Amino acid sequence: MSSARKTAIVTGASRGIGKQIALRLARNGVNLVLAARTLEAGSSRWPGSLEETAAAARALGVEATAIKCDVTRRTEVEELCKSALARYAAVDILVNNALYLGPGNYNPFLETAFETWDRNLEANLMAAVVASRTCLPAMLERKRGVILNLTSVVATMSVATPGALGIGAPYAVSKAALNRLVVALALETRAAGIGVFALDPGAVLTERADHEIRTGRRPSIGVRQPMEIPAAAAEYLCCQCPLELSGQVLVARELVDRFNLV
């Protein structure tokens, strides 16, 4: 699938993996609609902003629109996609990267508030459902498109005990449900030439992860790989759309090694 003059929505694009994916797509000539909560520099305790990502993308020769969006709010996700469709008529690539990693995510089950469950399910599952449902009709009409969902190894296995800095049930359950969504949606869209993928980035040293590890808010689980690994894997899936892999949960490091992507 040629990515020239195509349009992508990338959520969680103010920093981290989302930003790196966005810039990879920009280098392939893809126009961008970028979403996150941090619109302007200095408005978050974390480095990075949508405006900075958009500026970097424009320097690569593509159009880039920054839209403030909280993926725990369904109406904002829907409006994000409608704005992209109004501007470009279709979204060729949808990257559901944003996630919820807020207070309570590392708590044991009995210490986890229902609000934490709600936020994880909204951000990590329902945002992808809403965005896919909004963007998919135009993809089906054109018989082309990619829906890429960032998942996690914790959907199938635990890396540490909750309460001892291990991730809790809400995040893991929401990512497991996202994986199942990928399988189900791929069955309905493959014949139309639309690829639906789940990408496990692995343990990645993002700006936020680096800060939280150094301050003891997140477990250090050994060697973390650079953001270029999942970004390169995402670039391959979005720009090549290998339909034989549609519906699968793919590991970034394995894709990079298999296809010599870095």
174-201 pLDDT tens trace: 999 999 999 999 999 999 999 999 999 9
> Is 150:227 a contact under the CB 8 Å cutoff?
no
DSSP for 96-140, written as a single string = E------TTTTS-GGG--HHHHHHHHIIIIIHHHHHHHHHHHHHH
> Could you tell me the pLDDT band of residue 159, with boundaries at 50, 70 and 90?
low
How far apart CA 120 and CA 173 sit, in angstroms, is 9
Strand order in the sheet with 194-200: 64-68, 31-36, 7-11, 93-96, 145-150, 194-200, 249-251
pLDDT for 255 equals 97
Is it the case that residue 219 has pLDDT exceeding 70?
no
How far apart CA 123 and CA 142 sit, in angstroms, is 28
- Annotation says 106 is catalytic: no
**pTM for the model:** 0.93
How far apart CA 111 and CA 34 sit, in angstroms, is 35
91-113 pLDDT tens trace: 999 999 999 988 899 899 999 99
DSSP for 157-178, written as a single string = --SS-BTTTB--HHHHHHHHHH
Of the residues 88, 100, 106, 171, only one is catalytic, namely: 171
Listed by start position, the domains of the chain span 7-241+253-259
What's the mean pLDDT when you consider all of the chain?
Answer: 92
> Is 252:229 a contact under the CB 8 Å cutoff?
yes
CATH number belonging to domain 7-241+253-259? 3.40.50.720
> Could you tell me the pLDDT band of residue 162, with boundaries at 50, 70 and 90?
confident
